[in-house]
């Protein structure tokens, strides 16, 4: 008991020290660097609807939600979602209201290629994205396009999806079609959204489509194939399109900050981070490439001990290491929260068979008194953002970082006065500015999300929008929350001012938008 108390005091003291690394005063106007860009983000399955409209075929989220509806908390799906397939003009109007520099959205693979392959291009799908892109460009809003935000064609899943090495060519073909059709107007490309969630949650933990649970194997096959697929798409752009169109291509990696529980857990926390996001960042952004050494060592040692003839972690060939290394023009970072981690010997000696977390050998948690969003995993820890940006700067030679997602969820019925979200945005932007002051090369920030949307397994119960969406109205009416007004002012003034209080009575479009 006494020991526990001492430990608790030590932890609390260490937080006091940690949070001192981020300024604590709620200050007046603090400018963003010259040329810094602001956007918001969404994803195809989460907002488009039109799940079978005009030639679109089934993807893994259509399939999962249609065949196992109540795997989603409110038994909902994205069949209609925000109906952006029909309401895209209103979406662009909201971008103009906010004064966005860019808007990040994703393409639906099966809307463009209903057979999954380039043998049949769905003109209606191409037209939809042309309409959206052209409407944005009309108002000088730059499109930032994600090729893959989790909606794999179901047919490809039936052939193993991301665990089948042929997915590299399937994805590369799809990427080429997208570059060909939209590359004249789209200058920012993101190949993949959040490889960890695609691979670990999709194939290891079964908490995302295709909801497969073969931990310790499948997520590693997925990781390798996904990274090579990403790199192949990158090189296609580089060789065939870059000169003509002059755009950039990157990847969005989800990374939380992983804080050691005590000083003796520093190595454990580092190792955990090497699995959780180093797995995807190291092969691309480190000087040597390949999976992080600690990951290769731990999985090989565990596999040998468990009686396997080879490591459960597949190897990259030397050519693949080179293909993947450096295959990103920027580090797209999706960041939401922080976890505390300690070395867990029980996890290390776990006998129930191989698993991803057994391979890592650590346990993580979040203290209950950290402010929590509607999503239970999302606690507000701005100093974690600062530390993460610092780690990316030092570990990968200060890459150009684009924050491609950051945001906070509220619950149904919480209304328009979303002060918690407002505070989250301010504190995280402030922490980001601290890192920038110390040299981090962060050049753009994207709020997740422009509007409420289908929050995967949480359905419509966790809402991330700057705009609220009324799911009972046929038009899916969108209404700005207070956070929309605050974000608008940040963008207009290019400053973060803690004291700013918006007039939320009417949203307007400013001149020039």
Distance CA 105, CA 394 (A): 30
The residues that bridge with 343 in the sheet, in sequence order, are 362
Our CB check for ligand BGC shows the closer of 78 and 160 to be: 78
- Residue 240 — left, alpha, or beta (φ > 0 → left; ψ -120 to 50 → alpha)? alpha
- Smallest separation, CB 391 to ligand BGC (Å): 19
Our CB check for ligand BGC shows the closer of 46 and 57 to be: 46
Going from the C-alpha of 154 to that of each of 61, 116, 151, the distances in angstroms are: 8, 9, 8
Q: Out of 405, 455, 462, 468, which one is annotated catalytic? A: 405
- Smallest separation, CB 276 to ligand BGC (Å): 13
**Cβ 120 vs Cβ 114: under 8 Å:** yes
Which tokens go with 366?
Answer: 């979040």
Which tokens go with 460?
Answer: 């419509």
Q: Out of 142, 194, 219, 455, which one is annotated catalytic? A: 194
3-class secondary structure per residue, 474-506? CCCCEEECHHHHHHHHHHHHCEECCCCCCCCCC
- Smallest separation, CB 449 to ligand BGC (Å): 7
Kindly list the residues in this chain that would bind ligand BGC in the complex (CB under 6 A): 43, 46, 193-194, 197, 254, 334, 405, 448, 455, 464
**Cβ 429 vs Cβ 23: under 8 Å:** no
Q: Is 405 annotated as catalytic?
A: yes
- Smallest separation, CB 73 to ligand BGC (Å): 13
Burial of 53 (0-12, 13-18, 19+ CB in 10 A): middle
- Smallest separation, CB 104 to ligand BGC (Å): 10
Our CB check for ligand BGC shows the closer of 96 and 149 to be: 149
**Cβ 481 vs Cβ 467: under 8 Å:** yes
**Cβ 150 vs Cβ 193: under 8 Å:** yes
- Smallest separation, CB 377 to ligand BGC (Å): 8
- The CA angle 266-268-337, to the nearest 5 degrees, is 80
Pure H helices in 99-250: 109-112, 123-138, 154-158, 167-182, 195-196, 218-236, 242-245
Our CB check for ligand BGC shows the closer of 358 and 452 to be: 452
Report helix, strand and coil shares of the chain as percent, to nearest 5: 45, 15, 40
Our CB check for ligand BGC shows the closer of 236 and 458 to be: 458
The residues that bridge with 478 in the sheet, in sequence order, are 469
- Smallest separation, CB 363 to ligand BGC (Å): 22
Going from the C-alpha of 320 to that of each of 212, 306, 503, the distances in angstroms are: 26, 28, 54
- Sorted by sequence, the CB contacts under 8 Å of residue 137 that are 6+ apart come out as 143, 185
Instruction: Give the catalytic positions in this structure.
Output: 194, 405
């Amino acid at each position: 008991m006494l020991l526990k108390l001492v430990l608790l005091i030590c932890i609390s003291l260490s937080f006091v020290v940690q949070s001192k690394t981020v300024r604590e005063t709620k200050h007046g106007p603090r400018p963003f660097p010259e040329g810094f860009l602001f956007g918001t983000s969404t994803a195809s399955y989460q907002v488009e609807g039109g799940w079978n409209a005009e030639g679109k075929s089934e993807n893994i989220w259509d399939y999962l939600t249609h065949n196992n509806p109540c795997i989603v908390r409110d038994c909902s799906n994205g069949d209609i979602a925000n109906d952006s397939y029909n309401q895209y003009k209103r979406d662009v109007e909201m971008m103009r209201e906010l004064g966005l520099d860019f808007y990040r959205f994703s393409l639906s693979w099966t809307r463009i290629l209903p057979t999954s392959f380039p043998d049949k291009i769905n003109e209606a799908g191409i037209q939809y994205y042309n309409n959206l892109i052209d409407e944005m460009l009309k108002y000088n809003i730059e499109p930032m396009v994600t090729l893959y935000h989790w909606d794999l064609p179901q047919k490809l899943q039936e052939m193993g999806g991301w665990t089948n090495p042929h997915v590299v060519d399937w994805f590369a073909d799809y990427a080429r079609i997208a570059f060909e059709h939209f590359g004249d107007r789209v200058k920012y490309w993101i190949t993949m959204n959040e490889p960890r969630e695609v691979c670990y949650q999709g194939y290891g933990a079964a908490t995302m489509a295709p909801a497969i649970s073969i931990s310790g194997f499948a997520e590693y096959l997925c990781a390798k194939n996904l990274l090579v697929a990403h790199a192949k798409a990158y090189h296609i752009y580089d060789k065939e399109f870059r000169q003509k169109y002059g755009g950039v291509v990157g990847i969005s990696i989800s990374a939380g900050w992983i804080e050691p529980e005590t000083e003796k857990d520093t190595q454990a926390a580092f190792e955990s981070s090497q699995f959780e996001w180093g797995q995807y960042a190291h092969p691309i952004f480190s000087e040597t490439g390949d999976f992080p050494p600690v990951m290769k060592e731990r999985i090989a040692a565990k596999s040998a001990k468990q009686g396997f003839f080879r490591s459960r972690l597949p190897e990259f060939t030397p050519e693949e290491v080179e293909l993947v290394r450096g295959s990103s023009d920027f580090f797209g970072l999706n960041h939401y929260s922080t976890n505390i981690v300690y070395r867990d010997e029980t996890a290390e000696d776990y006998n129930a068979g191989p698993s991803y977390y057994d391979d890592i050998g650590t346990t993580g948690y979040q203290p209950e008194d950290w402010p929590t969003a509607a999503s239970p995993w999302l606690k507000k820890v701005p100093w974690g953002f600062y530390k993460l940006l610092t780690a990316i700067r030092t570990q990968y030679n200060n890459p150009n970082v684009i924050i491609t997602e950051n945001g906070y969820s509220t619950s149904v019925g919480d209304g328009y006065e979303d002060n918690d979200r407002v505070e989250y945005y301010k504190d995280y932007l402030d922490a980001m500015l601290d890192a920038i002051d110390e040299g981090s090369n962060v050049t753009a920030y994207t709020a997740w999300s422009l509007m409420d949307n289908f929050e995967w397994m949480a359905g419509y119960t966790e809402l991330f929008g700057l705009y609220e969406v009324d799911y009972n109205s046929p038009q899916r009416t969108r209404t700005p929350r207070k956070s929309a007004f605050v974000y608008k002012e940040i963008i207009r003034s290019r400053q973060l001012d803690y004291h700013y209080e918006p007039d939320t009575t009417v949203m307007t479009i400013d001149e020039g938008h």
